[in-house]
Structure 1
Amino acid sequence: MALSSITERSIFFRIYAGLLLVCFLVAFFGYFLMQAINQQRLQSYRESIATVAFYLGTASYDRRSVEEKESWLMAIGREFGSEIHVVPMDGLELKGRELKRLKEGKSVVRYDEISHHSMVYHAIDNDGSVLSAELDRINERQIHAVMGFLLDELQYYPSLAGKQARLAHLSQKFGYSMALLPLSTLGLDKEQFDRLNTGKAVLSFDNENQRPHLSVMMASTIPNEVLVVTVPLFNFFSLDVIISIVLTCLLLVSFGVYALIFPLERRLQLLQMGVNKVAEGKLDTMVQVAGYDDIARLSSTFNAMTRHIKRLIESQRELTRAVSHELRTPVARIRFAVDMLADDDDYESRQVQKQYIDDDIASLNELIDEILTYAKLEEGSPKMDWEMVCLKELLEQIERETNALGKPIAIKIKPPAQKVVAMADRRYLHRVVQNLAGNALRYAKSTIIISAGVKKGMAFVTVEDDGHGIPEADREKVFIPFARLDDSRTRASGGYGLGLSIVSRIAFWFSGNMSVDESPSLHGARFTMEWPVKQVGVVIVADELTGAKSEKKLIGTDE
């Protein structure tokens, strides 16, 4: 479950895991590609060796008379250590590639992976038949027989120059070095010299060069001239093949990396396009949010930021218009009162006008304070002094302060137990409950109820009254700055329409929410604020504060 969550939410984990998987798959592919290429190269090597031997063999067979051919096949079979047959080409189930090779004068080798035996076929010129033999691994007897075929081929060229020309032609035809070399240039030891004198083939391996090869030497019919055939040995790890495999693997890794990175690059480009549009002033721009990974969270944050910026700008415009409207009335009254002071000589009347001016100035100060508070909460995250607040003590404080106003309204509280606490900024939380209680006092007929508690990890405070309530269609509007649902009621009760907006913003910075509905017991309005009992990122700090308070209590008890 945890691994699935990491895979789903971390795009970089998916990229790293994808790269690892790509490297594994490419290595797996490279290994089998190397095996396949080497098998194909080994098959080509077998067929090239067989082509030289059976080309010379069929040439020797063609030169025999009809009576000699059967005995020749038996003799050569003994030399090879395997029976050699002449079979009709039509009787063989040849593939297209094999038929093409036979028509081109090349041998066909069918290798059996289980028995490690090879069936070799080579077409006989102008006969419609093929020379076939079942061979095991190449041994010295077969090499000796092939050298015998070559010597038999050279006897039809009497002069040394003719023999050299024929060998040069065969070397060019098959790609193997064949030449007659003076005995003195070969640097043979006594044992090798004796083998040459007895008509046996001498094998010499050379591993010093980059490409190891086998030199086969056999005495020719010309004195002191030795027939030397150089055959390159098969190298499973050819440099060309390794370079080709490495380049192919790198290309595949590049494609795999591109396939992993391209979606990320595309999503970042879309995010960049969204940023550019917002920079141009198009605040309605939203980028697509796909999945739950880092880029999705970044896109979601960008969308939230764009909405917040748009809301701030709209709020600023509304606030500017509303403030200008709200300031105009008290300023007009002050101006009117000042004019009355200038024209009125009666002392008592002047005092009354002066009192009106003082009231309007106090009203302006109150409005300015409300505006500053709302702007502070709206412009960004305010500094919160988080602590564990006892909800019972808070409600009792609000009850005392509200009763002190002397209004003929019954204040009832439903506090939780003493040990029920919630993480909050006490000053802002007090402001919320105080504003809600003051709002309820203005509209209640006889009773308001204040309650608080904790339920399923969420703390709440509720203030309800027995007033007329708020129509369901207008409940969202009460949190809009300077909004008044019933202008006559609001004017009569006072206020500027910012109190509930401030409460709503405080709830937002508490990571909570504010709601209004109908009171089930009093049938008026019920305002409820909910927020998490513990704030993300400050849990440890809160625990430390709680622990520190407990230690202080213990110390006080000891004293």
Structure 2
Amino acid sequence: MLSIRTPSSIFVRIYGGLLLVISMVALSTYLLIQVVNDHRAAEYRESMATGFFRLVAVGIERQPAGTLRDAWLEEASTLMDNKIVLVDAKSADFDSTEQITLLEGRAVVRVNVQHNYADIFSLVSAKEQLYLKARMSKVSEQQAKAMAIFLLDDLEHYQGQETQRLTQLQSYFPFPLRIVSLEKSGLEPDQRARIKRKEVVLALKEGGAARHSSIRIIAPSKMAGHVLVMGPMYLFDWMPVQLLLIISAVSLLVITSAAYFIIHPLEKKIKIVEGAARRIGGGDLGARAEVFGRDEVSQLAHAFNSMAEHIQRLIDSQRELTRAVSHELRTPVARIRFGMEMLADTDDVDSRFEQLALLDGDITELNKLIDEILTYAKLEQGIPVLDFEAVDLGHLLQKVAKETLALGVKPKVTVVLPPEGTVVEAEQRYLHRVLQNLAGNAIRYATSEIRLSAGVYDNCAYIAVEDDGAGIPEKDRERVFQPFTRLDDSRTRASGGYGLGLSIVSRIAFWFGGQIKVEESPNLGGAKFVMTWPIKQRHRNNFKLNS
């Protein structure tokens, strides 16, 4: 199943997201402008055609059916340079919207983009269900002049009432209709001369944009010294200022909203991290930034939480270490003080040597305790300097076994060697310390035997130490790795140790990128400690760190 992951980079998320939004807004804006302009163009064509064809329809309606009407249609077609025919509603096949438009006295324009023409319909007689139809492929100067001629023809039926008639017709035209004096018409001398010759004049006014360019149609009037002025008729503006402002405002709103929804989650995460930092600064060491995700802010939050956990662990460890050290030092110090007093109170040479030997043992024990404390503190403070190298597991097992036997221990030490040449990556000194601590721990609690083993499986290495002692209850198996921990059963203070050996092992396992666990030994019946870590340190990410 194909899964789509959210980009983890803030750069990709913000700039890529904004680029996507801007691209979508640009495409949507283009499509919206096309749709809006198509609608505006349709309204423009309809409004420009309505008045013209209303005049033609009125002229046809005035003619009686038959030869006179046909002759008038023929003459009108010649004047317009377009064939005008009469059709009924059935042959025209009007839909409901077109029928309403026609009944309102407006024209219906059907555009055929493929063949580049438009069929224009206008109502002639609602009673007879009669409509005129003209097919136009272009608008020419002849047709513009024809419109003026049709209007003059209509005004002849309203002599003396021309102004009132123009007022009645004005609702069908999208531009002004008026009769003005020739002096106020704004015509140039040659245009005035043409008016006096009873010609129709087209006056073009050009502007810097389509919305500023216009055409006026001026025709001679029956009223002396006056002319009929139609217009100005403004050309269709494909990009009006109002539309640009609306589109720009909507686009800006969409982009701003998208930017908010893209950036706000990141801002929210940053505020969560900031809040957690403030709480920690105020003394709440348990505060964490509850942030989820894969972007840089989420990674920052995870790093912050890891840092906070480490700081809290260090502080808790320091407190515990301070408390435990003061407690652990009392016994050897008290014995040394007692030995010094005994040494001062006796004059017997043999007794003095005996006390000196005891003092030397107490000092040695004190040195061991200090060494354990320093080692644990070093591992707990931060990442130690680890020099990973190739380590032969079989050789290491044999070395630790010899060192353990050299102590004169009673339990039998059994070694289960891995295949010859089993080599893994590890820090030799720390791995030796792990095996040594585990073996020493097993010796203290074993009845008759301990077993050392090691090997590799699935890109990880392991070392294991087992004993045949009483074992560790399952409820205490996590607690044994805490510093200065001693259990209440057979693993008591009487067995020796300071409760730091297993804590040191746990920290070394952590810095190796591995883990340490304790379970019941299937072979000896006691406790079995197993430490695992990656054979190659490049595989460390495949393991869950036991912190």
TM-score bracket for the superposition, by shorter chain length: 0.7 to 0.9
8 Å contact 1:204–1:214 — kept in the other structure?
yes
Aligned to 1:525: 527
Aligned to 1:555: none
8 Å contact 1:181–1:228 — kept in the other structure?
no
Post-superposition offset of 1:469: 2.6
CA shift in 2, pair 1:99/1:184, >3 Å:
closer
Moved more, 13-22 or 330-339: 13-22
8 Å contact 1:108–1:122 — kept in the other structure?
no
Post-superposition offset of 1:92: 9.3
Aligned to 1:22: 21
Query: Within 5 Å, which residues of 2 pair with 1:471-482?
Result: 471-482=473-484
Aligned to 1:151: 152
1:34 paired with 2:36, answer no
Q: Measure, in 1, the Cα distance between the counterparts of 2:425 and 2:501.
A: 23
1:280 paired with 2:282, answer yes
1:493 paired with 2:495, answer yes
Aligned to 2:76: 76
Aligned to 1:505: 507
Q: Deviations over 1:22-41 (max 9, x none)?
A: 23322221122111111111
Post-superposition offset of 1:279: 3.1
Q: Deviations over 1:184-242 (max 9, x none)?
A: 953759xx988x78866555655553223345455556899776644222232344434
Q: Measure, in 2, the Cα distance between the counterparts of 1:489 and 1:146.
A: 115
Pairing partner for 1:514 from 504, 513, 516: 516
Q: Measure, in 1, the Cα distance between the counterparts of 2:17 and 2:450.
A: 62
Q: Measure, in 2, the Cα distance between the counterparts of 1:489 and 1:209.
A: 100
Q: Measure, in 2, the Cα distance between the counterparts of 1:139 and 1:471.
A: 104
Query: Within 5 Å, which residues of 2 pair with 1:247-396?
Result: 247-288=249-290, 290-396=292-398
8 Å contact 2:177–2:228 — kept in the other structure?
no
Moved more, 424-433 or 205-214: 205-214
8 Å contact 2:106–2:172 — kept in the other structure?
no
Aligned to 1:545: none
Letter in 2 for 1:82: K
Moved more, 495-504 or 357-366: 357-366
Say which SS state the counterpart of residue 388 (structure 1) adopts. strand
Query: Within 5 Å, which residues of 2 pair with 1:541-556?
Result: none
Post-superposition offset of 1:499: 0.5
Post-superposition offset of 1:307: 3.5
CA shift in 2, pair 1:488/1:342, >3 Å:
farther
Aligned to 2:459: 457
1:441 paired with 2:451, answer no
Aligned to 1:553: none
Gaps in structure 2 of 5+ consecutive residues: 542-547
Letter in 2 for 1:145: A
8 Å contact 2:51–2:172 — kept in the other structure?
no
CA shift in 2, pair 1:134/1:64, >3 Å:
closer
8 Å contact 2:21–2:255 — kept in the other structure?
yes
Q: Measure, in 2, the Cα distance between the counterparts of 1:537 and 1:188.
A: 96
Q: Deviations over 1:455-485 (max 9, x none)?
A: 1110111122233332333222221111112
Say which SS state the counterpart of residue 395 (structure 2) adopts. helix
Q: Measure, in 2, the Cα distance between the counterparts of 1:317 and 1:144.
A: 104
Q: Measure, in 1, the Cα distance between the counterparts of 2:102 and 2:364.
A: 110
Moved more, 53-62 or 336-345: 53-62
Gaps in structure 1 of 5+ consecutive residues: 540-559
Aligned to 2:120: 119
Say which SS state the counterpart of residue 21 (structure 1) adopts. helix
Moved more, 470-479 or 56-65: 56-65
Query: Within 5 Å, which residues of 2 pair with 1:162-201?
Result: 174-176=174-176, 185-186=187-188, 201=200
Aligned to 2:239: 237
CA shift in 2, pair 1:92/1:467, >3 Å:
closer
CA shift in 2, pair 1:518/1:237, >3 Å:
same
Letter in 1 for 2:37: N
CA shift in 2, pair 1:303/1:418, >3 Å:
same
CA shift in 2, pair 1:281/1:432, >3 Å:
same
8 Å contact 2:486–2:493 — kept in the other structure?
no
Q: Measure, in 1, the Cα distance between the counterparts of 2:88 and 2:5.
A: 68
Aligned to 1:432: 434
Q: Measure, in 1, the Cα distance between the counterparts of 2:196 and 2:388.
A: 107
Aligned to 1:133: 133
Aligned to 2:544: none
Letter in 2 for 1:25: M
What is the TM-score of this pair, normalised by structure 2? 0.80
Post-superposition offset of 1:498: 0.4
Say which SS state the counterpart of residue 471 (structure 2) adopts. coil
CA shift in 2, pair 1:457/1:240, >3 Å:
same
Post-superposition offset of 1:384: 1.2
CA shift in 2, pair 1:184/1:490, >3 Å:
closer
CA shift in 2, pair 1:181/1:264, >3 Å:
farther
Say which SS state the counterpart of residue 338 (structure 2) adopts. helix
Q: Measure, in 1, the Cα distance between the counterparts of 2:522 and 2:514.
A: 23
What is the TM-score of this pair, normalised by structure 1? 0.78
CA shift in 2, pair 1:538/1:271, >3 Å:
closer
Say which SS state the counterpart of residue 411 (structure 1) adopts. strand
CA shift in 2, pair 1:123/1:338, >3 Å:
farther
Query: Within 5 Å, which residues of 2 pair with 1:38-49?
Result: 38-49=37-48
CA shift in 2, pair 1:43/1:176, >3 Å:
farther
1:142 paired with 2:143, answer yes
RMSD: 4.3
8 Å contact 2:202–2:215 — kept in the other structure?
yes
Post-superposition offset of 1:325: 1.7
8 Å contact 2:509–2:515 — kept in the other structure?
yes
Say which SS state the counterpart of residue 117 (structure 1) adopts. strand
1:419 paired with 2:421, answer yes
CA shift in 2, pair 1:121/1:281, >3 Å:
farther
Q: Measure, in 2, the Cα distance between the counterparts of 1:429 and 1:122.
A: 102
Q: Deviations over 1:420-470 (max 9, x none)?
A: 322221111111111112222222333332222221110111122233332
Say which SS state the counterpart of residue 454 (structure 1) adopts. strand
**How many equivalent residue pairs?**
531
Post-superposition offset of 1:101: 8.8
8 Å contact 2:98–2:108 — kept in the other structure?
no
CA shift in 2, pair 1:141/1:448, >3 Å:
same
Q: Measure, in 2, the Cα distance between the counterparts of 1:458 and 1:207.
A: 85
Q: Measure, in 1, the Cα distance between the counterparts of 2:120 and 2:356.
A: 125
Q: Deviations over 1:529-548 (max 9, x none)?
A: 11011224999xxxxxxxxx
CA shift in 2, pair 1:215/1:209, >3 Å:
farther
Post-superposition offset of 1:496: 0.4
8 Å contact 2:469–2:525 — kept in the other structure?
yes
Post-superposition offset of 1:157: 8.9
